[in-house]
Every structure is written in C-alpha cells, then in structure tokens.
Amino acid sequence: MSLTLPEELTYESLCSALANDYASQGEIRTRRIAEYLYNYLCTLGSGSRDSKSKVRMVVEREYTDADFLDDFAEYYIRCYPNYSRRCKRLHFFKETPLAEDVFSRLVRGAATKGEEDAFRESYLGFVVARPLPRAVIGRTVLRTYESDGGRRNYTCTRKYPVNLYGISLSVDSLAFQEQDTVLAACATVALWSCFQKTAKLFDTRTPTPAAITTVAGQAIHLGRPIPSHGLISFEMCRAIRHYELEPELIDLRDRRFRSVPFISLLYGYLWMGLPVILGVEIEKVGRHAIALTGYSFSRERQHKAETIELAKDKSTQQVPLAGLHISALFGHDDQIGPFSRLKVISPACHSEGESNTIYLESTWIDPETKRILKLTPMQVIIPVYHKIRLTFVDVYRWVTVFLPALRYHFGNIEALEWDVHLTFSNDVKGLMRTSDLRKDAFLESLLVEHHPRFVWRAILKFGEIRLVELLFDATGFARSFPLYRVVWHNEDFASKMKWLLEHPGLSPILNEVESLRINSVRFWEFLGLSIARQFD
Amino acid sequence: MDDVELRKANLVTGQAKVSSQVAYRPPNQETAEAELQAFVLEAKSELASLDEAEGISQQALEFEFNV
C-alpha cells in the first residue's frame, strides 16, 4: 500500500475523507457535526477562531477500530448491506512542520530528531470515519483548546497514545463519538465517554458502546434494547454499577433539590476530572444526555445565584460558591461535537416576568426561526468510585454549619467564597507544599500523616485570600463525622474564630446549629482543637 | 505548564496578601448575643432546606434520554 501524503484541511477535503459507499461527500457536507469538527480543527490549528486553514490531514485508509469492531460484530455484520469492518482514520497536524518530503522521511525513519519532535508537537489528534450511512463520526480524540490563562479548564481529559505508521504520538483528550441510534443513543455515548476517564481515575474498565447498551438493557427495558432509541436513568445507573462505579443521581426537577447550588455541584466533581452526565430538556426537541468534560472559570463572578430555581421568598444570605465564576460548561454532545460550549444563563440574568430557572445555551438552533434553543437541566448523574460515599450536598451541609460564625465576623458575606471540590489526597498534599502555608512542623505533619485516598476540600476565601480549608474524608458517610482536618491559612482569622469559640456567652449559641443530619457541637470543638494544634 | 498544573496553580495564586485586607465587621459587644442567635436561626433554616435534598423518586429513574 502506498503512503498517503498530508493534504491541506478544507471543508471539502474533510467531507471527502469522511465519505464512504453509504454516505456521500455531499450528504456529509450538510451535517452539523462535520461543520463543527472543521471549525474546531481550524481553531486548534491557528489558535484563533478567525484565522482558518492552518491544518494538514493524513488519512490512514485501513484502520481497525476496536470500538467499531465490537459494534460490527454485534450488529453490522448481520445486516444486508455489505458494511466494511475497517474504518478510515483521519489524523490532523498543525501545518508548519509537515511538508510532504518531511513526512516521507519521518515515515521512513530518515528525519532528524528536531523534525520528529516538531511532528509530535504539531499533532492535533484523530477522527475515526466509520463506513456507515449516518453515524460516520466514530472514536474522535482531539486536542482541547488552549487554557487561555486558566480560564478554560478541560479537566476530564487523559493521555491517548497513538501510532501512525510506527511513529509514536500522543494527545490529551477525552474520546468522543456520534451515536448510531442502533447500538448507541445519546445516553450510551455519554456513558462511553465518561468511562474513558473513570478508567484512568479509578482503574475501571472501558466498555464499548454495544457492551454498555447490552448491560443497560438487561436492567428493565420494555422495548427492544437494540436498535437503541435511548436509555432511561435507571438503565444508565445499571450500566454504571456494572462497571464497578456507583451512580449519584440528582433529579433537578425535584423540589427537594431547589436549595442545592447547581453549578458548584458540577464544578465539585469536574475539578478532579470526573466527568458528569447532564440530562437536559432541549426546547422543542426532547431529552438529551451530555457528558460534561470541563468548565470556563472567569476571575469575576458571572452569576448572582446558581440554584436551579431562584426562590422568590429567599431571605437567608448564604456564602457564595466557586460555581458563580463559571460562565460556560464544556461537554461531549454527540450531536454537536467534542468539547462543545454550553453557556450558563442564570436566573439573575432574566428580565422581570421571565422564567426563574437556570438554563444553558449551546449550538442547538431552531431550524425554522434560527433562534438558539434553551437547554433546561433536568438530571445529573455522576459515576463515582464505589468507595466515594460522601456527596457534594453532604459537604455543603457541613460548610453551612459555619454560616453563623462567618455572619458574625463579616456581617455581609458577599466577599467570602467557598471552593468545594473532590480530589485525591495526594493532590492535596502536593498543593499544600506549594501553598501559602508556613514551611514549618505543622506543614510537615500534614504531609507525613496518612490521609484517605479521596478527599472533599472546602476552601473558604475572602476575595483571593484563603482563610481556612476543611478536609472531609470522601470515603466516609454523611451521618458520621467526615471532617478529619482543618488547615488555617490565615492566622488573624483563626484568632478571631478562637475568640468566638471560647467566648462563654457566644460559644453555647453556636452549638444550637443543628439539623436532622448534623450536630454542630463536635464541629465547633474540632475547629477549636485544630487552631490549638496549628498555632499553639 | 500543562492545563492541569495551571488550574491547580490558579488555586494557590494570590494567596500571599496580608491579612489586614480581610474586612471584618466591627464587633458590638452589646448586641453580640442577639445577632448570633439570629445568624444561628438563619443557618438552621438553610440546613432544614438542605436536609430535604436527598433521595430519588421513581419518576426520576424513568426519565428517558432519547434525542
């Protein structure tokens, strides 16, 4: 077989490469996903949305994709049309170092080390083109946009090794694919993308779409599982359990969850790189599952409120959370493309008389009016490791216990902010080493001591200044006392808390903070002891 | 520095500012107890609302994603 040389990426060359015997170039040209991929690649290549065509494409004409092979063996081989079991794989590179003669020398092993390094550096990822009539976009692994100074956070990525004609390449991404509505609908491919990342986080398996649909359909499916027209939440939870994870399901329509800060909840899991499945109702279209892969975090707050529904009778002032900084989420929407942007529109942005419910805007457009359609969040499903038992809501309850002390010290608590997120204790230790903490015996003891593997961190800040950090054992459970460490970042604040906790008249009042699940007495005692441990 | 490192670094930047920038409320010894009582009531109300945030209804499990 002769070597296919790199060609310039144009919309026509992309559509031509994606085409097959069952889907013509003209047909693919009209597909929204092809247009999205083209624009995405051009932006990746040039580093700007305005500047285009800085990308070169190499088409690997015969490629066996493990995920498609499984789908093929499960279904397509038994179809009347003679579908191929082989795919094409389209590789993309930034243009500059990929002159044709350089590429030939690279393949033959005659290139210089500098040329090989530049080649690897220029790699943008690949798209598998399936030989199918509709769902042409198979496993797609593309680099993310640059972080833009920390604003864009594509946290749910992992390293994918790639081999092109013997040349080892790699790309940091999260695999994406289009649903074929035979073996996979939106919910299946959202789960498939999530499992790609949870495999790296928790050493679990990476099933194929066909395997996920089969497992999900074993739970309770009144219709035929294949062809798949969708999954219900119960089936998605069943599939998550089958792959050694536990589903945390939050039904946002349920009035019981009206006080939960929705964006911070998503942020709490996405921070550690754990993908979250967001179920949305798309206006005039239906219910859709999107695998969230990251968020856009601005320095300034973007919202005034972030609960799913802004309560009209809300009088209590709660400490703001980090989620207020998130202007958009990034997600694998199998009908739009990888890392697509979902702009968060919060209730406070609405004009008088409009809906008071938070919603999202993506590139879903009404085909008749060209109006951007509203995506209303309905459900959140988080595939967590089975030993992670403490939820975001549990931790949020504990930090709410702190509220009266903060109100007492600060009055207006608008400048305060809780940053609540799940993480690994090893990451916590790494961050502590480079934090503002004094390099003293206290820090040493913190680093030397044994921590649980998974930790919920709740960091209280005043503007950019850290005041205190609460560490919760994420493997504990809500009605235990999961708080296991308190780190005071600000000695002045610690001394004010010490005064309050030791005040004979005020301290007993703090002990009155209680709820069905929380008795605060031990909480305040623990805070007092932690101050003594760190500073005395 | 890759994205993950940068994101983590962002969480620890800007921390070296002096504590005097933290604006505390001036204490009022005479009204302290009454005020704290009011703040405790607020927190209890918030916690009561959060206590409800648990459980899954049958309806939630039957939510179908089919676009």
Contact flag B22-A490 (C-beta cutoff 8 Å)? yes
Q: Which amino acid is at A290?
A: I
> Which residues of chain B make contact with A317, given a CB cutoff of 8 A?
42
- Scanning A199-238 for CB atoms below 8 A from B yields 229-234, 236-237
What pLDDT score was predicted for residue A481? 93
CA A450 to chain centre: 29
pLDDT at position B18: 39
ipTM for the predicted complex comes to 0.84
Res A138 pLDDT > 70? yes
- Which of A73-77, A178-182, A468-472 holds the top average pLDDT? A468-472
Residue A487 has a pLDDT of 97
Q: Which pLDDT value is given to residue B13?
A: 39
Alpha-carbon distance B29 to nearest alpha carbon in chain A (angstroms): 10
pLDDT grade for A314, boundaries at 50, 70 and 90:
low
DSSP track, B8-66: HHHHHTT--S-GGGS-PPPP-TTTHHHHHHHHHHHHHHHHHHHHT-----HHHHT-EE-
Q: Average the pLDDT over A51-60 and give the result.
A: 82
CA A248 to chain centre: 15
- The sign one gets for the Cα dihedral A62, A66, A67, A73 is positive
Q: Rounded to whole angstroms, how far apart are CA atoms A126 and A37?
A: 11
For chain A, give the mean pLDDT: 92
Q: Chain B contacts of A427, Cβ < 8 Å?
A: 8
Separation of alpha carbons A43 and A49, rounded Å: 5
Q: Which of helix, strand or coil describes residue A125?
A: strand
Chain B CA closest to residue A232: B64
Interface membership of B28 toward A (CB under 8 Å): no
Å between B39 CA and nearest CA of chain A: 5
Strands (E), A254-336: 276-282, 286-297, 326-333
- For residue A61, give how far its alpha carbon lies from the nearest alpha carbon of chain B (Å): 32
Contact A462 B63 (CB under 8 A): no
Q: Inform me whether the pLDDT recorded for A142 exceeds 70.
A: yes
Q: Is the pLDDT at A49 greater than 90, yes or no? A: no
When CB atoms are compared, the residue of B9, B14, B50 closest to A259 is: B50
pLDDT tens-digit readout, B2-61: 444 444 444 443 333 334 589 999 888 899 999 999 999 999 999 998 988 888 888 888
Cα A108 to chain center, whole Å? Answer: 39
Biggest CA-to-CA distance, chain B: 62
Task: Give chain A positions within 8 Å (CB) of B34.
Answer: none
Judged by a CB distance cut-off of 8 A, whether residue B1 touches chain A is no
- Contact present, A119 and A98 (Cβ < 8 Å): yes
- B16 backbone φψ class: left, alpha, beta (φ>0; ψ -120 to 50): alpha
Contacts of B6 in chain A (CB under 8 A): 147, 150
In sign, the C-alpha dihedral spanning A233, A32, A209, A146 is: negative
Among B3, B16, B51, the residue with its CB nearest the CB of A516 is B51
pLDDT of residue B14: 34
User: Which residues from B are below 8 Å from A273, CB to CB?
Assistant: 4
pLDDT interval class at A525 (50, 70, 90): very high
Check: CB of residue A191 under 8 Å from CB of residue A212. Answer: yes
Pick the closest to residue A408 from B21, B43, B49 (CA basis).
B43
pTM to 2 decimal places = 0.93
**Which residue reads 């509220």 in tokens?**
A403
pLDDT in tens, A277-292: 999 999 989 999 999 9
A378 contacts in B (CB within 8 Å)? 63
Question: Are A151 and A297 contacting, i.e. CB atoms less than 8 angstroms apart?
Answer: yes
Name all domains of chain A by residue range, CATH numbers in brackets. Answer: 7-173 (no CATH), 186-385 (3.90.70.10), 392-535 (no CATH)
Residue A258: count of CB within 10 angstroms of its CB: 18
The answer, yes or no, to whether residue A204 has pLDDT greater than 90, is yes
Per-residue pLDDT for A37 more than 70? yes
Q: Residue range A43-49: average pLDDT? A: 78
Q: Is B29 on the interface with A (CB under 8 A)?
A: no
Which percentage of chain A shows pLDDT scores above 70? 93
Q: What is the pLDDT of residue A25?
A: 97
Those of residues 115-154 in A touching chain B at CB distance below 8 A are: 144, 147, 150, 152-154
CA distance A264 to chain B (A): 15
Q: Which residue of B has its CA nearest to A509?
A: B37
Could you tell me the two tokens for A529?
Answer: 């002891």
Q: Which of residues 434-473 of A touch B (CB under 8 A)?
A: 434-436, 459, 462-467
Among A122-131, A349-358, A373-382, the least confident range = A349-358
Least confident stretch, A131-140, A284-293, A515-524: A515-524
Low-confidence winner among A147-161, A181-195, A344-358, A383-397 (lowest mean pLDDT): A344-358
A85 interfacial to chain B (CB closer than 8 Å): no
Residue A378 has its nearest CB partner, among B55, B63, B66, at B63
Q: Comparing A185 with A398, which gets the higher pLDDT?
A: A398
Cβ burial A312-341 (10 Å sphere, 16+ → b, else e): eeeebbbbbbbbbbbbbbbbbbbbbbbbbb
CA-nearest of B51, B47, B4, B13 to A318 is: B47
Binned at pLDDT 50, 70 and 90, residue A239 comes out as very high
Question: What is the pLDDT confidence band of residue A311, given thresholds at 50, 70 and 90?
Answer: low
Cα distances from A136 to residues A21, A356, A534, B17, B59, in angstroms, run 11, 39, 59, 54, 35
Cβ neighbours of A421 in B, within 8 Å: none
- DSSP string across A18-74: H-BTTB-HHHHHT-HHHHHHHHHHHHHHHSSSSS---EEEEEEEEE--HHHHHHHHH
Subunit contact A431:B7, Cβ cutoff 8 A: no
Q: How confident is the model at residue A51 (pLDDT cuts 50, 70, 90)?
A: low
pLDDT reported for residue A144 = 98
DSSP A392-422: HHHHHHHHHHTHHHHHHHHSS-TTEEEEEEE
pLDDT digits (tens, 9 = 90+) for A476-517: 988 889 999 999 999 999 999 999 999 999 999 999 998 888
B62: which chain A residues are within 8 Å (Cβ-Cβ)? 232-234
Please give the C-alpha separations between residue B57 and each of A8, A172, A253, A286, A390, in angstroms, as whole numbers: 53, 38, 11, 21, 20
Top pLDDT among A52 and A377 is at A377
Which pLDDT belongs to residue A50? 58
**Does the pLDDT of residue A526 top 70, yes or no?**
yes
Judge contact between A334 and A178, C-beta under 8 A: yes
Which positions ≥6 away from A13 have C-beta within 8 Å?
A7, A57
> Within 13 A of A162's CA, how many CA atoms are on the CB side?
29
Do the chains contact at A249 and B61, CB–CB below 8 Å?
yes
Q: What is the mean pLDDT of residues A192-218?
A: 94
Report the gap between the CA of B30 and the closest CA in chain A (Å). Answer: 12
Cβ separation of B19 and A492 shorter than 8 Å?
A: yes
**Residue count of chain B:** 67
Closest CA to A6 of A104, A83, A110: A104
Residue B5 C-alpha, separation from nearest chain A C-alpha, in angstroms: 10
Rounded mean pLDDT, A238-261? 93
